[in-house]
Amino acid sequence: MSSEPRPTFAKAMGLLRRGAFSRYMTGEAISMTGTWMQAMAQMWVMTSLTVKAVDLAKIQLASGIPMLLLTMVGGKFADRHNKRTILLITQVVQIILAVAVGFLVAKNQIQIWHILVVAVVLGISNSFEMPAASAMVPELVEKCDIATAVAIDRSVFHATRLIGPSAAGFLIGFWGTSSAFFVNAISFVALIIALLTIPRRAPHSEEEKEKRSGSMKAGFKHVRSDKPTWAMLLLGCIATFFVVPVMIVMMPLYARDILHVEARQLGILMSISSIGSLTGSITLLGVSRSGRRARLALAIIAVTIALMGMAWTHRVWIAAGCLILLSIGASTCIGLANIIVQERAPDHLRGRVSAVAGICLFGLFPIATLLVTSLADWIGMRTTIFATASIYAVGSIAVLAVIGHEFSTPLPETPNAETLQTQPESSPGS
Protein backbone atom coordinates (compact mmCIF):
# COMPACT_ATOMS: atom_id res chain seq x y z
CA MET A 1 0.00 0.00 0.00
CA SER A 2 2.97 2.29 0.17
CA SER A 3 2.61 3.19 -3.48
CA GLU A 4 -1.04 4.12 -3.11
CA PRO A 5 -1.82 7.57 -4.54
CA ARG A 6 -2.76 9.83 -1.67
CA PRO A 7 -3.86 13.47 -1.39
CA THR A 8 -1.41 15.61 0.57
CA PHE A 9 -1.24 19.21 1.71
CA ALA A 10 1.96 19.73 -0.30
CA LYS A 11 0.30 18.41 -3.45
CA ALA A 12 -2.67 20.72 -2.82
CA MET A 13 -0.39 23.76 -2.52
CA GLY A 14 1.29 22.74 -5.75
CA LEU A 15 -2.02 22.64 -7.61
CA LEU A 16 -3.02 26.03 -6.19
CA ARG A 17 0.15 27.69 -7.42
CA ARG A 18 -0.29 27.10 -11.12
CA GLY A 19 -2.54 27.16 -14.13
CA ALA A 20 -6.22 27.18 -14.85
CA PHE A 21 -7.15 25.26 -11.70
CA SER A 22 -5.61 27.95 -9.50
CA ARG A 23 -7.41 30.76 -11.31
CA TYR A 24 -10.71 28.92 -11.21
CA MET A 25 -10.45 28.25 -7.48
CA THR A 26 -9.66 31.93 -6.81
CA GLY A 27 -12.72 33.09 -8.71
CA GLU A 28 -14.84 30.39 -7.11
CA ALA A 29 -13.72 31.43 -3.62
CA ILE A 30 -14.78 35.03 -4.14
CA SER A 31 -18.05 34.09 -5.81
CA MET A 32 -18.99 31.49 -3.19
CA THR A 33 -18.35 33.97 -0.37
CA GLY A 34 -20.96 36.24 -1.92
CA THR A 35 -23.33 33.32 -2.43
CA TRP A 36 -23.14 32.39 1.27
CA MET A 37 -23.75 36.03 2.20
CA GLN A 38 -26.92 36.07 0.13
CA ALA A 39 -28.06 32.71 1.51
CA MET A 40 -27.80 33.97 5.07
CA ALA A 41 -29.48 37.29 4.19
CA GLN A 42 -32.32 35.52 2.40
CA MET A 43 -32.96 33.24 5.37
CA TRP A 44 -33.07 36.29 7.64
CA VAL A 45 -35.53 38.00 5.29
CA MET A 46 -37.72 34.90 5.45
CA THR A 47 -37.77 34.91 9.26
CA SER A 48 -39.18 38.44 9.08
CA LEU A 49 -41.92 37.27 6.70
CA THR A 50 -42.98 34.03 8.44
CA VAL A 51 -42.83 32.11 11.73
CA LYS A 52 -43.35 28.67 10.17
CA ALA A 53 -40.45 26.32 9.42
CA VAL A 54 -42.38 24.84 6.50
CA ASP A 55 -42.37 28.23 4.73
CA LEU A 56 -38.58 28.09 4.66
CA ALA A 57 -38.87 24.64 3.10
CA LYS A 58 -41.12 25.99 0.34
CA ILE A 59 -38.25 28.15 -0.90
CA GLN A 60 -35.99 25.12 -1.11
CA LEU A 61 -38.76 23.19 -2.86
CA ALA A 62 -39.24 25.97 -5.40
CA SER A 63 -35.57 25.79 -6.38
CA GLY A 64 -35.40 22.02 -6.05
CA ILE A 65 -38.20 21.03 -8.40
CA PRO A 66 -36.43 22.52 -11.46
CA MET A 67 -33.24 20.77 -10.35
CA LEU A 68 -35.01 17.43 -10.09
CA LEU A 69 -36.51 17.90 -13.55
CA LEU A 70 -33.55 19.47 -15.36
CA THR A 71 -30.30 18.33 -13.73
CA MET A 72 -30.17 15.29 -16.02
CA VAL A 73 -30.49 17.63 -18.99
CA GLY A 74 -27.74 19.76 -17.48
CA GLY A 75 -25.53 16.69 -17.16
CA LYS A 76 -25.92 15.87 -20.85
CA PHE A 77 -25.18 19.50 -21.73
CA ALA A 78 -22.01 19.40 -19.64
CA ASP A 79 -20.72 16.36 -21.56
CA ARG A 80 -21.75 17.62 -24.99
CA HIS A 81 -21.03 21.36 -24.84
CA ASN A 82 -18.45 23.86 -23.60
CA LYS A 83 -18.56 23.85 -19.80
CA ARG A 84 -17.03 27.31 -19.60
CA THR A 85 -19.84 28.79 -21.71
CA ILE A 86 -22.48 27.07 -19.57
CA LEU A 87 -20.93 28.50 -16.41
CA LEU A 88 -20.62 32.00 -17.86
CA ILE A 89 -24.31 32.09 -18.76
CA THR A 90 -25.40 30.83 -15.34
CA GLN A 91 -23.27 33.47 -13.57
CA VAL A 92 -24.96 36.25 -15.50
CA VAL A 93 -28.38 34.85 -14.60
CA GLN A 94 -27.48 34.79 -10.92
CA ILE A 95 -26.20 38.38 -11.02
CA ILE A 96 -29.58 39.51 -12.35
CA LEU A 97 -31.44 37.57 -9.64
CA ALA A 98 -29.27 38.95 -6.82
CA VAL A 99 -29.75 42.53 -7.99
CA ALA A 100 -33.52 42.04 -8.34
CA VAL A 101 -33.96 40.67 -4.81
CA GLY A 102 -31.62 43.30 -3.36
CA PHE A 103 -33.69 46.05 -4.98
CA LEU A 104 -36.97 44.66 -3.60
CA VAL A 105 -35.47 44.32 -0.11
CA ALA A 106 -34.07 47.87 -0.25
CA LYS A 107 -37.49 49.23 -1.24
CA ASN A 108 -39.13 47.17 1.54
CA GLN A 109 -41.35 45.54 -1.09
CA ILE A 110 -40.10 41.98 -0.77
CA GLN A 111 -42.72 39.27 -0.33
CA ILE A 112 -42.57 35.51 -0.05
CA TRP A 113 -43.85 35.03 -3.61
CA HIS A 114 -40.96 37.14 -4.93
CA ILE A 115 -38.46 34.83 -3.26
CA LEU A 116 -40.36 31.81 -4.58
CA VAL A 117 -40.16 33.05 -8.18
CA VAL A 118 -36.46 33.84 -7.85
CA ALA A 119 -35.90 30.39 -6.33
CA VAL A 120 -37.49 28.72 -9.36
CA VAL A 121 -35.28 30.63 -11.82
CA LEU A 122 -32.22 29.97 -9.65
CA GLY A 123 -33.10 26.27 -9.63
CA ILE A 124 -33.16 26.22 -13.42
CA SER A 125 -29.77 27.94 -13.51
CA ASN A 126 -28.30 25.56 -10.94
CA SER A 127 -29.52 22.56 -12.96
CA PHE A 128 -26.98 23.46 -15.62
CA GLU A 129 -24.31 25.04 -13.42
CA MET A 130 -23.90 22.18 -10.93
CA PRO A 131 -23.05 19.34 -13.37
CA ALA A 132 -20.79 21.61 -15.43
CA ALA A 133 -18.89 22.88 -12.37
CA SER A 134 -18.57 19.41 -10.81
CA ALA A 135 -17.26 17.96 -14.08
CA MET A 136 -14.91 20.87 -14.80
CA VAL A 137 -12.84 20.65 -11.60
CA PRO A 138 -11.44 17.12 -12.30
CA GLU A 139 -10.71 18.08 -15.91
CA LEU A 140 -8.45 20.96 -14.86
CA VAL A 141 -5.92 18.53 -13.36
CA GLU A 142 -4.27 15.22 -14.15
CA LYS A 143 -6.08 11.98 -13.32
CA CYS A 144 -3.78 11.27 -10.36
CA ASP A 145 -4.65 14.68 -8.85
CA ILE A 146 -8.45 14.39 -8.99
CA ALA A 147 -8.86 13.42 -5.32
CA THR A 148 -6.70 16.38 -4.26
CA ALA A 149 -8.54 18.78 -6.59
CA VAL A 150 -11.97 17.73 -5.32
CA ALA A 151 -10.77 18.02 -1.71
CA ILE A 152 -9.52 21.54 -2.45
CA ASP A 153 -12.85 22.40 -4.08
CA ARG A 154 -14.72 21.22 -0.97
CA SER A 155 -12.31 23.14 1.27
CA VAL A 156 -12.92 26.34 -0.69
CA PHE A 157 -16.66 25.73 -0.46
CA HIS A 158 -16.52 25.44 3.33
CA ALA A 159 -13.93 28.20 3.81
CA THR A 160 -16.28 30.62 2.08
CA ARG A 161 -19.10 29.31 4.26
CA LEU A 162 -16.95 30.35 7.20
CA ILE A 163 -16.59 33.91 5.93
CA GLY A 164 -19.86 34.59 4.09
CA PRO A 165 -22.58 34.30 6.78
CA SER A 166 -20.58 36.25 9.35
CA ALA A 167 -19.86 38.99 6.82
CA ALA A 168 -23.52 39.05 5.88
CA GLY A 169 -24.50 39.42 9.54
CA PHE A 170 -22.31 42.50 9.91
CA LEU A 171 -23.48 43.96 6.59
CA ILE A 172 -27.10 43.52 7.65
CA GLY A 173 -26.36 45.18 10.98
CA PHE A 174 -24.60 48.22 9.48
CA TRP A 175 -25.99 48.74 5.96
CA GLY A 176 -29.21 46.75 5.81
CA THR A 177 -30.18 43.38 4.40
CA SER A 178 -30.14 44.48 0.76
CA SER A 179 -26.36 45.13 0.88
CA ALA A 180 -25.66 41.38 1.09
CA PHE A 181 -27.53 40.78 -2.18
CA PHE A 182 -25.69 43.56 -4.01
CA VAL A 183 -22.28 42.38 -2.77
CA ASN A 184 -23.14 38.87 -3.99
CA ALA A 185 -23.94 40.24 -7.44
CA ILE A 186 -20.52 41.90 -7.58
CA SER A 187 -18.75 38.74 -6.40
CA PHE A 188 -19.80 36.80 -9.50
CA VAL A 189 -17.55 39.04 -11.60
CA ALA A 190 -14.47 37.35 -10.10
CA LEU A 191 -15.57 33.92 -11.31
CA ILE A 192 -16.51 35.29 -14.72
CA ILE A 193 -13.00 36.75 -15.10
CA ALA A 194 -11.46 33.43 -14.06
CA LEU A 195 -13.58 31.52 -16.57
CA LEU A 196 -12.60 33.90 -19.35
CA THR A 197 -8.91 33.16 -18.69
CA ILE A 198 -9.43 29.44 -19.25
CA PRO A 199 -8.50 28.61 -22.87
CA ARG A 200 -10.74 26.53 -25.05
CA ARG A 201 -9.98 22.82 -25.23
CA ALA A 202 -8.75 21.19 -28.40
CA PRO A 203 -11.61 19.62 -30.44
CA HIS A 204 -12.67 16.13 -29.39
CA SER A 205 -12.06 13.16 -31.63
CA GLU A 206 -15.03 11.62 -33.44
CA GLU A 207 -14.92 8.66 -31.07
CA GLU A 208 -14.98 10.97 -28.04
CA LYS A 209 -17.85 13.00 -29.50
CA GLU A 210 -19.85 9.81 -30.00
CA LYS A 211 -19.28 8.77 -26.39
CA ARG A 212 -20.30 12.20 -25.13
CA SER A 213 -23.46 12.30 -27.23
CA GLY A 214 -25.01 9.34 -25.43
CA SER A 215 -28.07 9.44 -23.21
CA MET A 216 -28.35 9.67 -19.42
CA LYS A 217 -28.73 5.89 -19.35
CA ALA A 218 -24.95 5.60 -19.67
CA GLY A 219 -24.49 7.66 -16.50
CA PHE A 220 -27.00 5.53 -14.57
CA LYS A 221 -25.40 2.36 -15.91
CA HIS A 222 -22.01 3.40 -14.56
CA VAL A 223 -23.50 4.23 -11.15
CA ARG A 224 -25.33 0.89 -10.96
CA SER A 225 -22.30 -1.15 -12.04
CA ASP A 226 -19.79 0.45 -9.67
CA LYS A 227 -20.52 -0.54 -6.06
CA PRO A 228 -18.41 2.16 -4.33
CA THR A 229 -20.12 4.84 -6.45
CA TRP A 230 -23.70 3.85 -5.70
CA ALA A 231 -22.88 3.28 -2.03
CA MET A 232 -21.50 6.80 -1.73
CA LEU A 233 -24.54 8.26 -3.47
CA LEU A 234 -26.82 6.36 -1.09
CA LEU A 235 -24.82 7.67 1.86
CA GLY A 236 -25.22 11.16 0.43
CA CYS A 237 -28.99 10.70 0.08
CA ILE A 238 -29.27 9.74 3.75
CA ALA A 239 -27.31 12.83 4.81
CA THR A 240 -29.38 15.01 2.50
CA PHE A 241 -32.62 13.81 4.05
CA PHE A 242 -31.73 13.75 7.73
CA VAL A 243 -28.78 16.09 8.34
CA VAL A 244 -28.57 18.93 5.83
CA PRO A 245 -32.09 20.35 6.48
CA VAL A 246 -31.18 20.80 10.15
CA MET A 247 -27.80 22.37 9.33
CA ILE A 248 -29.07 24.85 6.78
CA VAL A 249 -32.80 25.49 6.56
CA MET A 250 -33.85 25.12 10.19
CA MET A 251 -30.91 27.04 11.66
CA PRO A 252 -32.54 30.52 11.57
CA LEU A 253 -35.59 29.27 13.46
CA TYR A 254 -33.46 27.12 15.75
CA ALA A 255 -31.35 30.18 16.57
CA ARG A 256 -34.34 32.42 17.10
CA ASP A 257 -36.77 30.09 18.90
CA ILE A 258 -34.44 27.70 20.77
CA LEU A 259 -31.32 29.80 21.38
CA HIS A 260 -33.05 33.23 21.28
CA VAL A 261 -30.34 35.09 19.30
CA GLU A 262 -30.44 37.83 16.64
CA ALA A 263 -29.15 38.14 13.05
CA ARG A 264 -25.56 38.98 13.96
CA GLN A 265 -25.32 36.05 16.37
CA LEU A 266 -26.90 33.77 13.76
CA GLY A 267 -24.21 34.78 11.27
CA ILE A 268 -21.53 34.01 13.85
CA LEU A 269 -23.08 30.62 14.65
CA MET A 270 -23.17 29.69 10.98
CA SER A 271 -19.55 30.77 10.59
CA ILE A 272 -18.57 28.76 13.66
CA SER A 273 -20.15 25.67 12.14
CA SER A 274 -18.13 26.37 9.01
CA ILE A 275 -14.93 25.99 11.01
CA GLY A 276 -15.85 22.35 11.39
CA SER A 277 -16.78 22.01 7.72
CA LEU A 278 -13.47 23.52 6.65
CA THR A 279 -11.56 21.30 9.08
CA GLY A 280 -13.33 18.21 7.77
CA SER A 281 -12.57 19.13 4.17
CA ILE A 282 -8.90 19.87 4.82
CA THR A 283 -8.41 16.56 6.62
CA LEU A 284 -9.57 14.81 3.43
CA LEU A 285 -6.16 15.72 2.01
CA GLY A 286 -4.63 13.13 4.31
CA VAL A 287 -7.09 10.24 3.87
CA SER A 288 -5.72 7.25 1.97
CA ARG A 289 -8.05 5.08 -0.06
CA SER A 290 -7.71 2.22 2.43
CA GLY A 291 -8.58 4.54 5.33
CA ARG A 292 -11.79 5.93 3.90
CA ARG A 293 -14.16 3.44 5.52
CA ALA A 294 -12.83 4.10 9.03
CA ARG A 295 -12.96 7.86 8.49
CA LEU A 296 -16.58 7.63 7.34
CA ALA A 297 -17.51 5.56 10.40
CA LEU A 298 -16.02 8.19 12.72
CA ALA A 299 -17.79 10.96 10.81
CA ILE A 300 -21.16 9.22 11.13
CA ILE A 301 -20.67 8.90 14.89
CA ALA A 302 -19.74 12.60 15.12
CA VAL A 303 -22.85 13.68 13.20
CA THR A 304 -25.13 11.56 15.38
CA ILE A 305 -23.70 12.84 18.66
CA ALA A 306 -23.82 16.45 17.46
CA LEU A 307 -27.45 16.30 16.35
CA MET A 308 -28.53 14.73 19.63
CA GLY A 309 -26.62 17.43 21.51
CA MET A 310 -28.43 20.15 19.56
CA ALA A 311 -31.75 18.49 20.34
CA TRP A 312 -30.94 18.52 24.05
CA THR A 313 -29.28 21.87 24.74
CA HIS A 314 -30.64 25.39 25.07
CA ARG A 315 -27.24 27.02 25.67
CA VAL A 316 -25.59 28.90 22.82
CA TRP A 317 -22.03 27.74 23.59
CA ILE A 318 -23.04 24.07 23.69
CA ALA A 319 -24.98 24.46 20.44
CA ALA A 320 -21.91 26.08 18.87
CA GLY A 321 -19.76 23.12 19.88
CA CYS A 322 -22.33 20.70 18.47
CA LEU A 323 -22.41 22.66 15.21
CA ILE A 324 -18.63 22.35 14.87
CA LEU A 325 -18.76 18.60 15.45
CA LEU A 326 -21.76 18.25 13.13
CA SER A 327 -20.10 20.15 10.32
CA ILE A 328 -16.84 18.18 10.65
CA GLY A 329 -18.74 14.92 10.30
CA ALA A 330 -21.06 16.06 7.52
CA SER A 331 -18.32 17.64 5.41
CA THR A 332 -16.21 14.50 5.78
CA CYS A 333 -19.05 12.21 4.66
CA ILE A 334 -20.15 14.36 1.73
CA GLY A 335 -16.59 15.27 0.73
CA LEU A 336 -15.39 11.66 0.63
CA ALA A 337 -18.51 10.62 -1.26
CA ASN A 338 -17.86 13.29 -3.86
CA ILE A 339 -14.17 12.35 -4.19
CA ILE A 340 -14.98 8.68 -4.72
CA VAL A 341 -17.71 9.41 -7.28
CA GLN A 342 -15.54 11.81 -9.31
CA GLU A 343 -12.46 9.58 -9.07
CA ARG A 344 -14.30 6.61 -10.52
CA ALA A 345 -16.25 8.45 -13.26
CA PRO A 346 -15.03 8.00 -16.87
CA ASP A 347 -14.11 11.32 -18.49
CA HIS A 348 -16.76 11.15 -21.20
CA LEU A 349 -19.46 10.40 -18.59
CA ARG A 350 -18.40 12.84 -15.89
CA GLY A 351 -21.13 15.40 -16.60
CA ARG A 352 -23.85 12.76 -16.51
CA VAL A 353 -22.42 11.05 -13.43
CA SER A 354 -22.18 14.47 -11.77
CA ALA A 355 -25.86 15.01 -12.57
CA VAL A 356 -26.81 11.73 -10.88
CA ALA A 357 -24.66 12.70 -7.88
CA GLY A 358 -26.24 16.14 -7.85
CA ILE A 359 -29.72 14.66 -7.64
CA CYS A 360 -28.67 12.46 -4.73
CA LEU A 361 -26.66 15.09 -2.84
CA PHE A 362 -28.63 18.23 -3.69
CA GLY A 363 -31.70 17.56 -5.83
CA LEU A 364 -33.53 15.65 -3.09
CA PHE A 365 -32.73 18.35 -0.55
CA PRO A 366 -35.92 20.43 -1.08
CA ILE A 367 -38.17 17.39 -0.64
CA ALA A 368 -36.23 16.37 2.46
CA THR A 369 -36.47 19.91 3.81
CA LEU A 370 -40.24 19.99 3.31
CA LEU A 371 -40.65 16.71 5.17
CA VAL A 372 -38.31 17.59 8.05
CA THR A 373 -39.64 21.11 8.59
CA SER A 374 -43.25 19.89 8.43
CA LEU A 375 -42.35 17.32 11.06
CA ALA A 376 -40.77 20.08 13.17
CA ASP A 377 -43.96 22.16 12.99
CA TRP A 378 -45.95 19.07 14.01
CA ILE A 379 -43.95 17.44 16.83
CA GLY A 380 -41.47 20.19 17.73
CA MET A 381 -37.98 21.06 16.62
CA ARG A 382 -36.10 19.25 19.38
CA THR A 383 -37.96 15.97 18.88
CA THR A 384 -37.47 16.20 15.12
CA ILE A 385 -33.70 16.71 15.41
CA PHE A 386 -33.41 13.71 17.74
CA ALA A 387 -35.43 11.57 15.32
CA THR A 388 -33.36 12.57 12.29
CA ALA A 389 -30.16 11.77 14.19
CA SER A 390 -31.40 8.27 14.99
CA ILE A 391 -32.52 7.50 11.45
CA TYR A 392 -29.29 8.88 9.98
CA ALA A 393 -27.14 6.71 12.24
CA VAL A 394 -28.99 3.49 11.43
CA GLY A 395 -29.12 4.12 7.66
CA SER A 396 -25.49 5.21 7.30
CA ILE A 397 -24.07 2.34 9.33
CA ALA A 398 -26.11 -0.08 7.20
CA VAL A 399 -24.52 1.34 4.03
CA LEU A 400 -21.00 0.95 5.45
CA ALA A 401 -21.80 -2.63 6.42
CA VAL A 402 -22.93 -3.43 2.88
CA ILE A 403 -20.00 -1.79 1.12
CA GLY A 404 -17.44 -3.54 3.31
CA HIS A 405 -13.83 -2.75 2.36
CA GLU A 406 -14.47 -2.05 -1.32
CA PHE A 407 -13.26 1.56 -0.99
CA SER A 408 -9.80 0.20 -1.72
CA THR A 409 -10.78 -1.55 -4.95
CA PRO A 410 -8.79 -0.38 -7.98
CA LEU A 411 -10.08 2.60 -9.91
CA PRO A 412 -11.48 2.02 -13.41
CA GLU A 413 -8.72 2.16 -15.99
CA THR A 414 -9.80 5.39 -17.67
CA PRO A 415 -6.80 7.75 -18.03
CA ASN A 416 -7.74 11.38 -18.14
CA ALA A 417 -7.01 11.70 -21.82
CA GLU A 418 -8.43 15.19 -22.02
CA THR A 419 -6.01 16.77 -19.56
CA LEU A 420 -3.13 14.77 -21.01
CA GLN A 421 -3.67 16.34 -24.42
CA THR A 422 -2.36 19.69 -23.23
CA GLN A 423 -0.04 21.20 -20.66
CA PRO A 424 -1.54 22.00 -17.21
CA GLU A 425 -1.61 25.74 -17.97
CA SER A 426 -3.92 25.20 -20.90
CA SER A 427 -5.85 22.13 -19.92
CA PRO A 428 -9.15 23.66 -18.89
CA GLY A 429 -12.72 22.63 -18.88
CA SER A 430 -14.43 22.02 -22.13
pLDDT at position 186: 94
Per-residue pLDDT reduced to its tens digit, 216-230: 667 777 777 788 888
Distance CA 292, CA 305 (A): 20
Do residues 419 and 141 make contact, with C-beta atoms less than 8 angstroms apart?
A: yes
Q: Annotate 39-57 with three-state secondary structure.
A: HHHHHHHHHHHCCCHHHHH
Residue 320 lies in a domain: yes
* pLDDT above 70: residue 89: yes
Residue 421 lies in a domain: no
Name the pLDDT band for 425 (thresholds 50, 70, 90). very low
Per-residue pLDDT reduced to its tens digit, 235-272: 888 988 888 888 777 777 787 778 887 766 776 777 77
Give the helix/strand (H/E) hosting 155.
Answer: helix 146-175
Name the pLDDT band for 27 (thresholds 50, 70, 90). very high
Can you give the pTM of this predicted structure? 0.70
Residue 350 lies in a domain: yes
C-alpha closest to that of 180 among 75, 283, 99, 82:
99
Residue 420 lies in a domain: no
* pLDDT above 50: residue 34: yes
Q: Which domain range does residue 332 map to? A: 9-409
Residue 419 lies in a domain: no
Query: What's the DSSP call for residue 315?
Result: -
404: phi > 0 → left, psi -120 to 50 → alpha, else beta; which? left
Backbone angles phi, psi at 243, to 5 degrees: -120, -50
Q: What CATH number is associated with residue 44?
A: 1.20.1250.20
pLDDT at position 421: 38
Distance CA 146, CA 427 (A): 14
Residue 233 lies in a domain: yes
Residue 430 lies in a domain: no
Residue 279 lies in a domain: yes
CB within 8 Å of 43: residues ≥ 6 apart:
56, 249, 251, 252
Instruction: Say if residue 423 is exposed, middle or buried (CB neighbours under 10 Å; 0-12, 13-18, 19+).
Output: exposed
Per-residue pLDDT reduced to its tens digit, 354-392: 777 777 766 677 778 778 878 888 888 888 899 999 999
Do residues 430 and 347 make contact, with C-beta atoms less than 8 angstroms apart?
A: no
Distance CA 216, CA 377 (A): 38
Instruction: Over range 37-41, report the average pLDDT.
Output: 84
Distance CA 247, CA 225 (A): 32
Instruction: Say if residue 346 is exposed, middle or buried (CB neighbours under 10 Å; 0-12, 13-18, 19+).
Output: middle
Instruction: Over range 109-129, report the average pLDDT.
Output: 89
Amino acid found at 328: I
3-state secondary structure of 285: helix
Name the pLDDT band for 1 (thresholds 50, 70, 90). very low
Number of domains present in the structure of the chain: 1
